[in-house]
Structure 1
Amino acid sequence: MTLPIALEDDHSHHHDILDIDGRPAKRVRFDSDSLLTKDVGTKDGASLVRKHPLRVRPSGNALTSPVNLKSACGLFASVPDELLVQLLETLDARDLLRFGASCRALHAFTRNEELWRALFVEPFILTAPVKAWPVYKTWSTEQLVEKYAGTCFRAESVDWPLSTYVDYMTNSQDESPLYLFDRSFVEKMHLTVSSQLDEQADYWPPTCFGSDLFNVLGDQRPDHRWLIVGPERSGSTFHKDPNATSAWNAVLKGSKYWIMFPSSPSIPPPPGVYVSDDQGEVTSPLSIAEWLLGFHAEARQTPGCVEGICSEGEVLHVPSGWYHLVLNLEPSIAITQNFIPRRRVGAALQFLRDQKQNISGFSDDVEDPYALFVARLQEHNPELLQEGMNELDRLSKGGRGRWEELTKPTVTEEVDDEPSGFFFGFGGDDEEEEEVP
């Protein structure tokens, strides 16, 4: 599977609707009056309750509705709602769009928020945000050496002046060249970084990733951003990002090859990769070149494999928990940053509580990162903390997904004759709703 490419324009909030082939679709104007349910008990003949734009109603309306639009779904009309939703969970974004385009009833099923939320946890590439950064427009190895020649940066296990590293980078014939990977570059280079779009800053995170919940830790947050410079053949062997974080990796110069795999206790690691029982430690005993020669072909055929090239001016999203190997295809400069998105707050809490031996990046004065994170969330956003604790409780009980929660009883629940789960009801009270798609 190749990485999906998405466009994002940080300067505009107006977007055309695209159809499944990428062409602009017809704009649809909804008449607000037509979406109001009529109520003879009100002065104007309409209540403040709006109809669903797709004419979806709770399943209880099936008792009185003259028509159930789901009957127009062909063979899918006989499939129970719960099973249909479970089938949709196996589709990727493009197939989900195609399926929903077949008729109005199925379109309503594909609008289920849980389906799209799950898809967002996969890797993807954005092609626009980085190109607005001042550092993208000005940085090159020559410009950096001119300005920071004597500044020391960390290249794996050594600290070298930038001029020394660039000289090594230019002339190295090593099979696995040293990789400059510096966590303090913002301070060393006196850069201005904004948390949102700010053309006075040197760069800012792409806005689509939302807020970083580790920001509540202030100066006590773990290491989270790095400058990455390296020649072709340099890169990083298989690993997962620290502390259950997600990440973005923006290429300012050059290009990078990525190969990635999802992870869970029930999924084996990529070929040639060994993982500890708690999933916290990842070991790849081979160099990048050796792994590519010995396991690359097999890995590409492994279910779940996602690969792609992130080119100059693009940024790649790395979901939390995904194994990834990165290889520079040419001399490259990049910035990467780790973050905790809202949807992963429960996973972050679980990691900090249960995998203390694998926590990294915190300063020595932080004795209990879990307690610190809980206290700061309670101070800044108690509602979000409660949301995270609820998710933590779910994960601690075995990590049942939303589908299982809705449809599968626990061992302590009594199963009765009524079906569990949720249903979509399709009914109508006018001629338009009886139209067969």
Structure 2
Amino acid sequence: MSAVAGSTDIPWYRSLNRAQWNTLFASNLGWLFDGFETYALILTVGPALHQLLHPNEYAQIPVFAGLVIAITLLGWGIGGMIGGVLADYIGRKRMMIIAVLTYSVATGLSALSFDWISFAVLRFLVGICIGSEWATGSSMMAELWPDNARAKGAGLMQCGLGIGFFVASFVWLFISPVSAGAWRYMYLIGVLPALLTLYIRRSIPESHLWEKADARRRAVLEQKRAGHTLSESEEKLARFTLVDLFSDPSIRKQTILVFFMSLTTTVGFWGISTWVPPFVAGIAAKSGLPAAQWASYAGMAYTIGSVLGYISLGFLADAFGRKPVTIVYFILALVFTPVLFFWTQNLTLLLVLTCVNAFFSNGQYTWMPVWLPELYPTRMRATALAFAFNAPRFIAFLGPLLAGTMIVHFGGFGRAAMVLATIYIVGIACAPFLPETRGRSLPA
């Protein structure tokens, strides 16, 4: 498979076999449903709390909404760490099936919430299940796709999140007027991914790289139990993957850099991007236009830009390298934040700027599934990806809790967004110190 897939004499898309395309389809679809669920929460948390809270608590809805979103993010971080570790021990395919099934069940149960506490608890469980899917899918994609097309595949996988955002915005546009309980229907739709597990079981192979690493790990652990002395490389295999991630000085150094770069992208999204729909809605309301409708337009424009950004980063990274493309995305995300929030009040132009801003601020997420798998060996790859992707959420989850306070304190969305946009400087400073990996085989 690898000899054919790695050939440069034919177009990259013709060099892929059926199993590789199936892996992309399943990973993309799983991430699409995760995106749908994530944005459905942003769209529906207000209407849900209007039903779940007592009328005398309505003034506190922004506080409760921030708390529910923060709890979801916290669950995402915890679940992502657990899922990544398990994917290194029980396999990519098996963990993906478990993640999709549990996510579907937890999402469907969210529709049955009877008060805000039950809603928050179920959202926490949904967050745990969503978090465990990304590192598993990213590891599987990287290990099954060839070197010359790996970044393209990662971009095509990552765009599923943006497509899920778009689908959620589009569906909510039609479901929201149905009734006061329309938010429950959005969560019932989230049960559908359970069907994806049937496809995964039949159509996707387990990663051969993981199977080899797992066989070596089992053999080494057997030797250790028998009292044999282990070599340095065998000691690494015998260590718990999360401990192994910080035991090797060289791996520890790049993990710290990766953490701060991931923190940059995560805070940029949860701290700035989620403000775009209400920002545009507020300007529309001042012009006497329906705020909810323009919020949906902004969400869809942002999603279109995100999808294009996700895909483009993967293709550009294969053409020009992981490092320069990632740095450019960080720089332009920093540049286009003030452009979006301060340059114009024209709604049509704002939608265009929303799309452009999303291309860089949200599209930059693709650097993670592109670059990270090429920095870590197979024995710890899913654990490393899970740590990099999810650990920043233990900080970023504070964003929704502080968002309302920041907007009030700084006198509006724009100034608050600019304060948070300085986080992009951290990513710009860290990225040059990671090794360029374009064209290299995955570390064994």
Per the normalisation by structure 1, the TM-score is 0.23
Higher strand share: 1
Higher helix share: 2
Per the normalisation by structure 2, the TM-score is 0.23
